[in-house]
């Protein structure tokens, strides 16, 4: 299956299917990356174990020269020091303006490799080869970034890939905790704009959890389509794109305060979406049952919905204010009105947010 992210001359296809890595050379050529281009494959140690050599072989057979940068797995690698190391490897390998960076992995690899591609010689071609479910989100939309010790994704750029090659067979080696994290973003895309999709995710939760290939491809396709539609309307987040941040202002705070280790991104935003629903109920904009339904669909995918132990509401509020989604220090939050409908509410009273969080700690 193929869908297109419509961005004028920067439009690109997302190709989804089983066994696509075997067809990478053809898909690269169709995206305008010829076998004359040198390729830098960025991947992490877990992904490299299963998928790096087969990919290099199929690319070599088609005449591509490849260099690989293998990073340690985990959010810690989205750092200036790892960025610096990959840049050094790229320069030493002799990459030029016609070269391309291939991100083979999850969102960590995609964000980091994308930032390398965005900044190497002021920007070279970039291709996403997602290997996690969560990456259905991170590989679409062109936001690339690394973290600063003081905050997540604070150093970054917009750099769209030439093509996204989504080989769903890679998901079978993914640890279940990472599968759950990926479903958090899939559910998010439903909660933002598609009630029928949320119902479908509820009805088919068991088979999706077992990675039934047909249903999985459909879930990825639908999730990508929701994101692609919003990104097409608002590439650089002047307006509508902010809606994709449902659960993320809370979630980023949870992640930062747990030093990117106790909770992964998907778990953090799952809890964040539940708290956002509680705030929406408190300020009176949410339809009855929104909290309950949000918690229910997330629970079906084995995601946490309760306040993360050990964090205080006051610390979370401070971290939320440091998140770059604040405007002029005021908190703007994406809140659900109903399942499938969210809204960016600017200037929410901090006291309300604190009250809701304090109730959650006690619950
Ligand atoms: P990740 O890249 O760390 O992958 C999760 C874990 O799974 C890692 O240990 C990885 O080594 C392992 N793994 C990956 N593919 C595997 C496979 N096929 N088999 C076995 N193990 C595999 O994390 P993620 O959840 O994919 O992405 C999270 C990151 O994405 C965060 O940094 C987040 O900020 C970012 N993100 C970015 C955007 C965006 O728009 N750019 C959107 C959402 C999330
Ligand atoms: Zn996210």
Interface confidence, given as ipTM, is 0.99
Instruction: Give the chain's end-to-end CA distance (angstroms, integer).
Output: 44
Residue 292, CA atoms < 13 Å, CB-side half-sphere: 3
Per-residue pLDDT, 329: 61
**Residue 47 and residue 349: Cα distance in Å, rounded?**
44
CB atoms closer than 10 angstroms to residue 125? 21
Considering the chain, what is the average pLDDT of its residues? 95
Residue 233: active-site member: no
All domains in the chain, ordered by first residue: 2-173 (3.40.50.1970), 176-362 (1.20.1090.10)
Each residue's pLDDT tens digit, 312-342: 999 999 999 887 666 666 789 999 999 999 9
Q: Which of 241, 278, 281, 325 is catalytic?
A: 241
Residue 306 · residue 294 · CB < 8 Å: no
Tens digits of residue pLDDT in 336-359: 999 999 999 988 899 999 999 999
What's the rounded Cα separation, in Å, for the pair 60 and 359? 58
Comparing C-alpha atoms, which of 227, 253, 252, 249 is closest to residue 240? 227
Active site residue 159: no
Question: Cα(39)–Cα(113) distance, rounded to whole angstroms?
Answer: 12
The predicted pLDDT at position 347 comes to 84
Number of other CB atoms surrounding residue 200 within 10 Å: 17
Give the single-character DSSP code of 194.
Answer: -
CA nearest neighbour of 146 among 91, 71, 92:
71
Q: Which residue has the tokens 């005021």?
A: 330
In angstroms, what is the span from residue 251 Cα to ligand 2's centroid?
8
The residue whose C-alpha atom lies closest to atom 26 belonging to ligand 1 is 106
Task: State the closest ligand 1 atom to the C-alpha of 170, by its place in the atom list counted from 1.
Answer: 18
- For 281-288, what is the mean pLDDT? 94
Q: Are 236 and 298 in contact (CB under 8 A)?
A: no
Catalytic position from the list 45, 75, 89, 237: 237
Token digits for 127? Answer: 């291709």
- Spatial neighbors of 92 by CB under 8 A, at least 6 apart, are none
Residue 114's Cβ-side half-sphere holds a number of Cα atoms within 13 Å equal to 33
Q: What is the mean pLDDT of residues 237-251?
A: 92
Active-site choice (152, 188, 235, 245): 245
Contact 324, 173 (CB under 8 A): no
> Probe ligand 1: pick from 108, 226, 241, 258, max atoms within 8 Å of CB?
108
Sheet architecture: strand order including 12-17: 2-5, 12-17, 163-167, 125-130, 100-105, 38-44, 65-71
Q: Is 362 labeled as catalytic in the residue annotation?
A: no
Beta-carbon count within 10 A of 72 CB: 11
Ligand 2 centroid, distance to 217 Cα (angstroms): 19
What are the pocket residues of ligand 1 if the criterion is a CB atom closer than 6 Å to any ligand atom? 44, 46-47, 73-75, 78, 105-109, 111, 131-132, 134-135, 137-138, 141, 143, 153, 170, 173-174, 178, 181, 265
Distance in angstroms (rounded) separating the CA atoms of residues 39 and 96: 10
Residue 51 has a pLDDT of: 98
Residue 259, judged by CB atoms within 10 A of its CB (0-12, 13-18, 19+), counts as exposed
Q: In angstroms, rounded to a whole number, what is the distance separating the alpha carbons of residues 215 and 247? A: 25
Given this model, what pLDDT does residue 262 score?
84
Q: Examine the residue annotation and report whether 264 is marked as an active-site residue of this protein.
A: no
Residue position matching structure tokens 């999706």: 208
Q: What is the pLDDT of residue 162?
A: 98
How far is residue 55's CA from residue 192's CA, in Å, rounded to a whole number? 35
pLDDT at 239 exceeding the cut of 90:
no
Known catalytic residue at 207 = no
**Continuous segment of H or E residues that includes residue 28:** helix 24-30
Does the pLDDT at position 105 exceed 90?
Answer: yes
């Amino acid at each position: 299956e193929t869908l297109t992210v419509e961005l004028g001359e920067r439009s690109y296809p997302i190709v989804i299917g089983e066994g696509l890595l075997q067809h990478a050379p053809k898909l690269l050529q169709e995206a305008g990356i010829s076998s004359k281009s040198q390729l830098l494959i960025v991947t992490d140690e877990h992904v490299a174990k299963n998928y790096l050599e087969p990919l290099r072989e199929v690319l070599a057979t088609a005449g591509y020269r490849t260099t690989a940068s293998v990073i340690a797995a985990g959010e810690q690698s989205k750092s200036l020091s790892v960025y610096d190391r990959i840049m050094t490897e790229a320069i030493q390998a002799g990459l030029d303006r016609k070269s391309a960076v291939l991100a083979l992995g999850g969102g960590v690899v995609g964000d980091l490799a994308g930032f390398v591609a965005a900044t190497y010689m002021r920007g070279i071609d970039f291709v996403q080869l997602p290997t996690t479910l969560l990456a259905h989100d991170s590989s679409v939309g062109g936001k690339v970034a690394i973290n600063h010790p003081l905050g997540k994704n604070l150093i970054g750029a917009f750099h769209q890939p030439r093509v996204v090659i989504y080989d769903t067979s890679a998901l079978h080696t993914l640890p279940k905790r990472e599968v759950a994290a990926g479903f958090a973003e899939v559910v998010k895309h439903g909660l933002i704009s598609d009630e029928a999709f949320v119902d479908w995710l509820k009805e088919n939760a068991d088979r999706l959890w077992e990675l039934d290939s047909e249903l999985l491809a459909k879930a990825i396709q639908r999730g990508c389509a929701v994101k692609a539609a919003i990104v097409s309307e608002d590439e650089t987040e002047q307006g509508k794109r902010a809606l994709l941040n449902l659960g993320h202002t809370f979630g980023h705070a949870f992640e930062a305060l747990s030093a990117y280790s106790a909770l992964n991104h998907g778990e953090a935003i799952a809890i964040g979406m539940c708290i956002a629903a509680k705030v929406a109920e408190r300020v009176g904009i949410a339809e009855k049952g929104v909290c309950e339904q949000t918690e229910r669909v997330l629970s079906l995918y084995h995601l946490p919905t309760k306040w993360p132990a050990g964090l205080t509401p006051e610390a979370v509020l401070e971290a939320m204010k440091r998140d770059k989604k604040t405007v002029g220090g005021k908190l703007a939050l994406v809140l659900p009105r109903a399942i499938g409908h969210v809204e960016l509410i600017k200037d929410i009273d901090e006291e309300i947010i604190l009250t809701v969080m304090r109730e959650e700690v006690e619950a």
